[in-house]
Amino acid sequence: PPTTVGLGFPIATRLVPADLRFVGATSPSGSFLPLVRGTQALARRAVAQGAAIVLVDTTGMVAGPIGVALKSRKLQALEPRHVLALQRTDELEPILHRLEGSGSARVHRLPVSSRVEKRSAAARRAYREARFADYFAMAERREYGWSALRFSGPRPGAGKRLPPEALARLGSGLDAEPLYGEVAGEAAFLLLAGSAAGVRGAAVRTFLEVREVRVRGLADIASVLLGLHDAGGRFLALGILDAPDPAGERLSILTPLPDPQA
């Protein structure tokens, strides 16, 4: 049976099956919307699977306007009944002041244990690297055609491919080597052999007569971390972009995903 703690609500002894959301970063900064929506979706999924209590362990980003904004958005999305505030002094008060003014949740201020040790940035980075190494220890390379995939960001395979002569003329004006390019409506996507740093987007827009252009370089996306999802958008596994093949319009991805067709 559930056991009761001093906060006045039961702690369930049955665990809900694990699920994950991919937000595209290892830091909350710059990923507010996917982070808040992902947290909300996971909490709702846990409730739908029968969890009586959902405990959300949030990130450590709490300082300054950015930290306050992130936690405030999470609170709005989750609408919790209780908020456990672990703070050494008063670092959470700007967040709690807003929350208590709304009267939407009961706040419990708790001290931080003296046995908690603060990890340095180097230690946190080493920990992440070790976890990633463990995760990809049994990974295999999977080949995918661009046309069989859908992308959440700038993507190939969504428009009409530029012919080699057009790429050559474009490259001479950019002082770069375009490997692949396409135009869809008034938007263009361009993949370069090296880095896209310093490439003038205005020159590409003028040449292709489009309003929007996304330029990426192989050097910029080498070993980028990917989130692999099924057709319904549910996260399946992580992947590492290994070797894009612009000529064959294929991607090689290193992933432990057991079913590559999923």
pLDDT digits over 148-182, tens only? 888 876 567 677 888 888 888 888 777 778 888 88
State the SS3 of the chain: CCEECCCCCEECCCCCCCCCCCCCCCCCCCCHHHHHHHHHHHHHHHHHCCCCCCCCCCCCCCCHHHHHHHHHHHHHHHCCCEEEEECCCCCCHHHHHHHHHHCCCEEEEECCCCCCCCCCHHHHHHHHHHHHHHHCCCCEEEEEEHHHCCCCCCCCCCCEECCHHHHHHHHHHHCCCEEEEEEECCEEEEEECCCCCCCCHHHHHHHHCCCEEEEEEHHHHCCCEEEEECCCCCEEEEEEECCCECCCCEEEEEECCCCCCC
pLDDT bracket for residue 18 (50, 70, 90): low
CB atoms closer than 10 angstroms to residue 191: 22
Q: What pLDDT sits at residue 12?
A: 42
Report pTM. 0.74
Mean pLDDT of the region 204-224: 83
Is pLDDT of 17 > 60? Answer: no
Is pLDDT of 6 > 80? Answer: no
pLDDT tens digits for range 23-82:
887 777 777 888 888 889 889 988 998 888 899 988 888 888 888 888 888 988 988 989
pLDDT tens digits for range 81-133:
899 989 888 888 888 887 887 777 888 998 888 888 888 889 988 998 999 99
If we measure between CA atoms, which residue out of 60, 72, 67 comes closest to residue 104? 72
Mean pLDDT of the region 178-202: 82
Is pLDDT of 219 > 50? Answer: yes
Q: What pLDDT sits at residue 140?
A: 92
